[in-house]
Amino acid sequence: MSAGRQRQYRSDAPIAISTLNAQTLRETKATSLEQVLNKVSGVYMADLGNEQHTMAIRQPIGYKSLFLYMEDGLPIRTVGDFNHNALIEINMAALQRIEVIRGPASSLYGSEAVGGAVNFLTAQPTPVTTGKIQAEMSDGGYKRTDFNLSGTKGKLGVWVGGYYADQRNGRIEHSDFHKLALTLKTQYKFDERTTWTNAATFVDYKTDQTGGVDSANFFSRNYKSMHTFSYRLVKAFRFRSTLEKQWNDADQTSFSVFYRHNEIGQNPFYAIKTTNNPLKARGEINSDAFQSGGLLVQHRKRFGWKGASLTGGFSADYSPATYYAQFIDVDRDGRGYFTGYTKTDSVLTDYKVDLVNTALYVQGEMNPFANMKLIAALRYDRMDCRFDNHLPPSAFTGSPDERNHYEAWTPKLGLTYDFGHNRGLYANYSVGFAPPNISELYRGVKVPTLRPASYRNFEIGGWMGFAKGKGHAEMSLYRMDGENEIISVRLADNSTENRNAGKTKHAGIEWSARYALLPSLEIRTSGTFARHDFVTFEDKGKKYDGNRMNTAPEWITNSEATWKPVRHLRLGMEWQHVGSYFMDPANTARYGGYDLFNARAGYQFGPVECWVNCRNLFDATYATTAEKSAFGDSYRPGPVRTFNFGVAYTFTAKQKS
């Protein structure tokens, strides 16, 4: 695990951390990331269709910048330009394992690592030449092809791979999409102590956009879309170059430079507003883009006393960002369908923000007593914004030109105690910090009013292994208090707005366990029971103090049984449970939650593997999110029963003797 930006044993990490290993990724055969991430205790990644998503880790389901997404330890987007759909930019075919840290990790990883941090670790070049190609399709119009090729010659290792996915004529109207993801990674070993890694990832994605449906259509399973032209497109490119040097047994340095170029273009369904004319509406086409260049330097020093070590680092990036939105006139027919649009000369938003993020961090570790480890960390983050509005300031076009900055010190203190025999306890205190996004600050407001959110987290937990290596279990209890938490408020026109929520309280228990009942039969369960409450929150003169936060299930569990009755055959059954929750801050409407069953089967014969997965085995009617506003109830329907069929071929060259 790498909770301290270095690989370390579980017994050395005083934090709630889970790993999805290569075997789990290989056997799940996920077509979208929530199918694996929802196996982690305390995690609910809501499927919004076609790899679109939002996240809930120690938080309600929402769209806030409270989660940090990384690839090989580097954030995939810059701080201040968060997008809840950011994981569209991940190349799933390149993943070797995934690490999930729950709770604030700002002291090492930085701003936005509040609810949690997810680190996607990519595949390494193989010692001998290997390759794989696979193809799959579903009975719901989904097709996908993956490939990878890897090998090492002399000091140079290379890995290249990716996938192309395509959806046509699905069971939900207006839900086509396609995605191309490619990754190239090289590793050059100058010697046993010096490695130079370069990696580049490119993603080209476009999807139809369809929103939720009302209660009548949801419960009758009439998943029609009133939108016929709305879309989202994503173009993302990332490059990093990392030089790692082990100077001696005590000193290790890593130096990374990186470049990111991201653009999200939309004709969003949620921006379409009706007018007094029943056959007309208005909407917008927008583009949110940034380029980013930066560096991360880290050094670790080990001392010969009490197992002490000190890790320090510095990071900086310069990320000019732009936002452009143009009004469109929308046509509507007598049935209520939005059938087409015409571009206008009216510009809603046109600005540029020069973002500069800088940070310093240090973490110390030592073993004051046998089997005990103490960890203390401190980080300073600063986000500077220089806002340039290309339009006259107004409530629509944004605020006047100005400069803003946000800064915070975030500490962490933790300890672990290892009782031996794979049993131990940990405790920690940590602070999280989340500055507002630039789109929240400057778009559609006369004066920026959002304040940065801060969180104090107290946590205890433990782990144990079962006898004879049959499995293990972990548990954690936490209490996190938020101040100025930024929440998404659903407005009367069905759009959302971010506001500071005063004070909030989040408390819960998380668990996970894995046990081999037989050599061929293993069961796994993970879950959380949590309460998310408004301590103080006022909206439009109404106070919601003491109310439950909306879209915050108390119970979330995921359990799975895997049976391998004969060699090369695997059978699996998974149960996902999401409990009921309130759909609005006033707590006037409740969604009952859902139970979802998935089945998987696969067989390996030589270099060929084939599989069939069934999602939603019992064809349940369920919503991945459910919300209430003055506009009405809105349910985002989950997929109906869907079968995926796939086949893969892997080849490995013979190693020269």
Q: Enumerate residues 6+ apart whose C-beta is below 8 A from 14.
A: 373, 375, 414, 415, 416, 426, 427, 428
Average pLDDT over residues 465-481: 94
Residue 492 has pLDDT above 80, yes or no: no
Q: What tokens does 150 get?
A: 């890897």
d(CA 533, CA 537): 10
Q: Please count the CA atoms within 13 angstroms of the CA of 296 that sit on its side-chain side.
A: 17
Lowest mean pLDDT among 103-117, 170-184, 267-281: 103-117
pLDDT band at 487 (very low <50, low <70, confident <90, very high): low
Longest dimension (CA), the chain: 79
Helix or strand run (H / E) with residue 648:
strand 642-652
Average pLDDT over residues 410-433: 92
What is the overall mean pLDDT for the chain?
92
Token look-up 């076009």 returns 397
Dihedral angle of Cα 342, 346, 349, 351, to the nearest 10 degrees: 120
pLDDT digits (tens, 9 = 90+) for 192-245: 999 999 999 999 999 999 888 888 889 999 888 889 999 999 999 999 999 999
Residue 2 has pLDDT above 60, yes or no: no
pLDDT band at 611 (very low <50, low <70, confident <90, very high): very high
Residue 85 has pLDDT above 70, yes or no: yes
Q: What tokens does 182 get?
A: 């490619």
**Per-residue pLDDT at 125:** 97
Average pLDDT over residues 639-655: 93
Residue 106 has pLDDT above 90, yes or no: no
Q: Enumerate residues 6+ apart whose C-beta is below 8 A from 374.
A: 365, 366, 367, 368, 414, 415
**Per-residue pLDDT at 437:** 86
Residue 332 has pLDDT above 60, yes or no: yes
Lowest mean pLDDT among 246-260, 396-410, 556-570, 574-588: 396-410
CA separation (Å) from 384 to 119, 441, 518, 653?
Answer: 25, 13, 57, 52
**Is residue 357 within 8 Å of 386, Cβ to Cβ?**
no
Between 427 and 420, whose confidence is greater?
427
The angle at the Cα of 548, spanning 53 to 83, to the nearest 5 degrees, equals 25
**Is residue 146 within 8 Å of 134, Cβ to Cβ?**
yes
Domains annotated on the chain, with CATH: 10-265+273-652 (2.40.170.20)
Token look-up 């100077």 returns 247
**Is residue 165 within 8 Å of 138, Cβ to Cβ?**
no
The angle at the Cα of 66, spanning 61 to 69, to the nearest 5 degrees, equals 105
pLDDT digits (tens, 9 = 90+) for 35-75: 999 999 999 999 999 999 999 999 999 888 889 999 999 99
Residue 559 has pLDDT above 90, yes or no: yes
d(CA 203, CA 226): 29
d(CA 340, CA 329): 9
**Per-residue pLDDT at 3:** 47
Between 248 and 62, whose confidence is greater?
248
Provide the CA 180 distance to its chain's centre, in angstroms.
Answer: 19
Between 489 and 576, whose confidence is greater?
576
Q: What tokens does 174 get?
A: 């207006």
Average pLDDT over residues 332-347: 91
Average pLDDT over residues 625-636: 88
Q: Is 324 helix (H, G, I), strand (E, B) or coil?
A: strand
pLDDT band at 6 (very low <50, low <70, confident <90, very high): low
Nearest to 263 by CA among 411, 89, 404: 89
pLDDT digits (tens, 9 = 90+) for 396-421: 788 889 898 999 999 999 999 999 88
Percent of the chain with pLDDT over 70: 95
pLDDT digits (tens, 9 = 90+) for 502-530: 899 999 999 999 999 999 999 999 999 99
